[in-house]
Structure 1
Amino acid sequence: MSETDWMYKDYQITQAIDIHRRMVIFGECRSDDKPTAFLCGYYEPLLLKDAYSEIQTGRYLEMMELFLQRVQGQIDKVRTEQQEMDVPLDIITQEMCDPYQQNKNLCGQMIAIEPIWFRPEERIAPKQIGYVMADKTPSKDSLVYKRLYDGLSKSCSYGYILGVIKPEHQPDWAKEAIRNLQKNAKMRKGEAR
């Protein structure tokens, strides 16, 4: 939880908890002496304009109770998402990786991204593990990888890489995902001929 100093209309946002890509906010209208001068809602920073939603106002205790319910709701969403993952969630550590060498081609390697670069609730192996598809992108300071759990294409700077995962620490589900990627790539090459 973090104390903030930003405003929403006449309300100073005094508390905010950022979880599951959404921030639950609590505010107080300090220029108003009404007992209903408290606010609870959601906040999402967007590129062009900040988004506030489900804003409610009321008495302190009811808004604080709503705030806690909404935080619990966000926690429940994370818990449900993680329970639906059918793979171990254990984090990949430095000891489980070989350091990468910047002049070495990482293409075709299973890498782990430093967990610190993820949101706290996403610091789990399925979010960390990737398969390098392209090393040395046009910027020459980053690479492109497929996140093995869900197949999403991502890019990152070399400074985000924890290392190349040692064979004995490569999860079976990740090895299977790589086999599927390679099999699909061969099929596409065969179709192109």
Structure 2
Amino acid sequence: MMNKLARLILPTLLITIATNTVETIAQASPVISGEQLPQPIADYPRVAASLLKPSVPKISETGITNDRYFIQIQVGGEALTRLIVSLPEQIEAFKHLSVLDRNGRNIPVKVEATKQQVTLIFARPISAETTAEISFEGVQLRKDDSATLRYRVSAQTVSMSKEILVGTAKIKVSKHS
């Protein structure tokens, strides 16, 4: 019981402490080389809140529409340079892969594919705080029964030298999909 309570209270407490500390700093008049700056920086609470936002990409939605399996990625606070998607063992093949922006327009991408994974290298980094949708069309499964497809997704942003795990995208497939 105490552990659950601590998990609920601790994040709120940390945010409150961080915000109050930043507000205190914002109220002080900054001094540089003996000169007082004209006005205190009053925007610290907003800046602190933005620092607490996750900057890493995350999976925001998955699904099937017609003959298209899709995984939506919320880019996060930094521009995205690469995505790596491990393909589920149930996938035999797919006919076409594209990456779309939130308006359904194609995003230029270099695709490197093997039977185990697809690496998407973006011609230009995808802007921070936007959405990208990976779309697999004409997917052929090995088995003709129901399955949950699990796609392991990793990403690399402009400031990272290696990929980080974003998560596992799950798509439930039935015989009628």
**TM-score interval, normalised by the smaller of the two chains:** under 0.3
Q: TM-score when scaled to structure 1?
A: 0.24
Which has a greater percent of helix?
1
Higher relative contact order (CA 8 A, sep 6+): 2
The structure whose residues are more often strand, as a share, is 2
State the TM-score, normalized to the length of structure 2.
Answer: 0.26
